[in-house]
Amino acid sequence: MNAMDQLKQCRPLTARQARVLELIQVMTTERGYPPTRRELRDRLGLKSTTSVQEYLKALQAKGRIQLDAKVGRGIRIMGLLYLEK
């Protein structure tokens, strides 16, 4: 099963989860690397990075992203190709 097939089988996202995923995609595409949790917090207007982490955990549970807790920018969008600038 390829990445696109896996995405089709994912559970639907809430509106806020979709916004977080969209922001990660935009920031990653623009810069060539994913945002930090603090950058997401600031752009989303949230008060804590814990809130961001909860959204990220939900997106990972739904198969939309993969997280690497050992890396500050350890967010990988499933099915997104990274292009070098």
Q: Which domains does the chain have, with CATH numbers?
A: 3-77 (1.10.10.10)
Q: Where are the beta strands (DSSP E) in the chain?
A: 65-67, 75-77
Q: What is the pLDDT of residues 55-81, one digit of tens each?
A: 999 999 999 999 998 888 999 998 755
Q: Please say whether the beta carbons of 77 and 24 come within 8 A.
A: yes
Burial of 4 (0-12, 13-18, 19+ CB in 10 A): exposed
Residue with tokens 């997401």: 40
The pTM (predicted TM-score) of the whole model is: 0.80
pLDDT at 5 over 70: no
Confidence of residue 83 (pLDDT cuts 50, 70, 90): very low
Residue 15, CB half-sphere, CA atoms under 13 Å: how many? 0
